[in-house]
A = this chain, B = another copy of it.
Amino acid sequence: MAESKPIFERVAVIGLGLIGGSIGHAAKRAGLAGHIAGYARSGETRARALEVGFIDSAHESAADAVKDADLVILCVPVGALGPVTAEIESSLKKGAILTDAGSVKTAVIRDMGPHVPDGVHFIPGHPIAGTEESGPDAGFAELFDNRWCILTPVPGTDKAATEKLTRFWEGCGANVDVMDSKHHDLVFAIVSHLPHLIAFNIVGTATDLEKVTQSEVIKYAASGFRDFTRLAASDPTMWRDVFLNNKEAVLEMLGRFSEDLASLQRAIRWGDGDMLFDLFTRTRAIRRSIVDAGQDTDVPNFGRDPTHKAPSGKK
């Protein structure tokens, strides 16, 4: 993946958490950027990012960070993308590429679009990768390896700019797909937003019962519940913004989910074992397809250390 010469002379990363940090690490690994300028709201985060070394310079404002940058990547929660774009609007270099890493795309085009100056190539993006961690220490160079990154350029976008951004993401290890923003939002409503919503919800339900205590739920979590807690530990601000900005698609998929759940509830109530068995057989095959597509590990239990103990040796 090493390039003989950087794809971009100067890259600005706005937002220095899991995604911004991983982009910095991955760009450095492959030599994709001559210089990486960084900005985060918190001075502590900026200092830490410099120390970890995934940016070359830290700036006191987003506007200062994007000056002279050939590629500007906004890695802030979806709700902050409009305001941040307004802040940097007058500092963007002519000919620069402006992109983001937000999990919804139609609302992002609505919010960022009006602030993009003529001569700047705005190409919304969404890398399909992450962990439940956040902050400047959460990122790592391999996060995007063999994962997908989706670009949703608006009609009329410069082809060469899209190709250049594609090469950058490929240099970060990702495979790039181009998609219409509305279709993107529908696809990710079901593969990402609804799963997170369900996870947040069940963790909420389980820890708010009278007949079963929270300590019982925690103690016996290995029986299934713990699988949901990873998604439910994701960044609260990021996810609030996702749901507020992909409302229609999420509500549509939630409607389908609830409809199917009601029918499953009915099958349990009436003891329809065949219906349950048929569904469970079908869903088992799907995991096999995901593993075959290289989108999950084939090691049982996600490869969790089977003997994992409490961090401090507690039981």
- Chain A residues with CB under 8 Å of chain B are 103, 128-133, 138, 140, 142-143, 145-148, 175, 186-188, 190-209, 211-212, 214, 216-234, 236-237, 239-241, 243-244, 247, 250-251, 253-254, 256-258, 260-261, 264-265, 268-269, 271, 273, 276-277, 279-284, 286-311, 314-315
Contacts and interface: CB of A to CB of B under 8 A. Distances in A.
Contacts of A239: 276, 280
Q: How many copies does the complex hold?
A: 2
Given A218-B286, A296-B229, A236 B191 contact: no
Given A142-B307, A307-B145, A308-B294, A203 B276 contact: no
Nearest to A228: B195
A225 to B, nearest CB: 4
Given A191-B223, A192-B220, A233-B283, 6 more contacts: A146-B307, A200-B279, A244-B273, A247-B271, A301-B302, A303-B305
* Prevailing SS type, chain A contact patch: helix
B301 A131 contact: yes
A227 B229 CA distance: 10
Given A256-B209, A290-B226, A244 B276 contact: yes
Contacts of A309: 146, 294
A272 to B, nearest CB: 9
A187 to B, nearest CB: 5
The 5 A-B residue pairs whose C-beta atoms are closest, nearest first, are A294-B310, A236-B280, A192-B223, A131-B300, A233-B287
Nearest to A142: B306
B314 A294 contact: yes
Contact of A231 (B227, B241, B264, B298): B227
Given A223-B128, A280-B200, A293-B219, A286 B186 contact: no
A224 to B, nearest CB: 4
A303 B302 contact: yes
Contact of A230 (B145, B209, B302): B302
Contacts of A258: 258, 261
Contacts of A221: 191, 290, 293, 295-296
16 contacts: A186-B211, A187-B220, A190-B217, A191-B221, A196-B224, A197-B264, A201-B261, A222-B295, A229-B283, A229-B287, A230-B301, A244-B271, A251-B269, A297-B305, A301-B302, A302-B304
